[in-house]
Amino acid sequence: MSDPVSDAKRASESAWPPGGADRLLEALQADHMPDLGHVDMVGLLLDPRLGKRALVSSFGTESAVLLHYVTRIFPRIPVLFIETGRHFAETLAYRDQLARRLDLNLVDVRPDPATVAAEDPHHRLAHEDPNMCCLLRKTFPLADALDGFDTWISGRKRFQASTRAALPAIERDGAHLKVNPLAFWTKTDIDAYFTAHRLPRHPLEAAGFRSIGCEPCTRAVRPGEDARAGRWADNPEKTECGIHLGPDGRFVRRRPA
């Protein structure tokens, strides 16, 4: 009997590297979201062609919605949290609160301590070279943590920033598929879900933080700004930490032989 996961992998591999047709991605889109009026997100998340799944969460201001939504479908899905060592204390407390409240299968993902000690001994890298800081503390650790998974689930949404206005619900991310279940949700949808399920809010949200990353690179958002305007505010050309780079596979590290 044919194995749908194996068949899907073979179809994907035959369309790799990027540039050719991605038959698996096209089939999933056709089956579960042929257009914006017909989006079956639960069906997509349950589709066996996604293979082994992980959920990646920053435990930011809107993370509780994604965590609740996905874990009602997959109660024991691994929830990967990139513990950079530079988070706000409030974020770590919120992580622990949600882990207890939602009974999460939480996995803390940490950078290699020897590499961090060698490259950032005085914790100045966030200010001197924020791209390298994100690579060492986020991108490389997540790449390692995603080994063995076929698909990862992200909480990105179109309304968060102009740079995410065309965000798809499912996309290719290097060798992985990536699903953005809340891509088409609005801020009103998010707030309504918080209320309906009585989910706790991030403690920094009341202080004007709408998108929260590491403490050295995050400030409160001013009136009229995008939700993500407080991220790397002193570096206008930097808008992402590097874990969301799309199908070209940039920042993929070569492993030692």
Each residue of 50-102: pLDDT tens digit? Answer: 999 999 999 999 999 999 999 999 999 999 999 999 999 999 999 999 999 99
Of 68, 42, 100, the C-alpha closest to 195 is 68
End-to-end CA distance of the chain: 37
Q: Are 28 and 67 in contact (CB under 8 A)?
A: no
Q: What's the full length of the chain, in residues?
A: 257
Tokens of 84: 């950079």
Amino acid at 169: A
- What secondary structure, in 3-state letters, does 207-231 show? HCCCCCCEHHHECCCCCCCCCCCCE
Residue 81 to residue 145: CA distance in whole angstroms: 10
Helices 63-71 + 187-196 axis angle, to 10: 60
pLDDT the model gives residue 163: 64
What pLDDT band is residue 3 in, cutting at 50, 70 and 90? low
Residue 151 to residue 208: CA distance in whole angstroms: 33
pLDDT tens digit sequence for 161-179? 666 677 889 999 888 999 9
Edge-to-edge strand ranges of the sheet holding 53-56: 105-109, 78-82, 53-56, 151-153, 176-179, 170-173
pLDDT the model gives residue 16: 47
pLDDT the model gives residue 8: 47
pTM: 0.81
Check residues 256 and 5 and name the one with the higher pLDDT.
5
Active-site positions read 241
Of 206, 211, 205, 202, the C-alpha closest to 240 is 211
Q: Are 57 and 63 in contact (CB under 8 A)?
A: yes
